[in-house]
Structure 1
């Protein structure tokens, strides 16, 4: 085996390692930050209660409030999208998955 062949083997091994690390990290990141706005915090907390109780009416009111807070610039885009996906999940009837994702979202917040 020549130096060039050995070099290609090292490069291939490094590339495979980087791919494995990247693939392992997909989906393992923290939830996006919702910021320090107290009304946003209270609304997300109320949303958790609505999802836990499977209260469609309260969930709808919380979703409207989340949209308003986003329009007002009080809720960052990434957090708004993440919460929207959670609302969609609940509206599709997958309440337990929505509750679990919302719980993770809330626990990931830095206050």
Structure 2
């Protein structure tokens, strides 16, 4: 175990990133990972999410999960009516996983 806080921060940041990557890759906007894209396909999204969490900007996470579809050339406002409910459920489930992760991390850091 490394007791030097300067050396442990980058390692901790990387561990957090990889844990968040797992959540985002299961969210998988447009199914790119499922279709065979590399696991780093959504790293920009993961990085943006991590920045929001580090800045305690929790209210910006849900809009990020919705609006990131534009990064991939898709407009979330143009989802067909029959898919809107499923889309919203996917966003809400992912947001819930992120918040559970965030709360767990903060509880563990208090100890």
Taking structure 1 as the reference length, the TM-score comes to 0.32
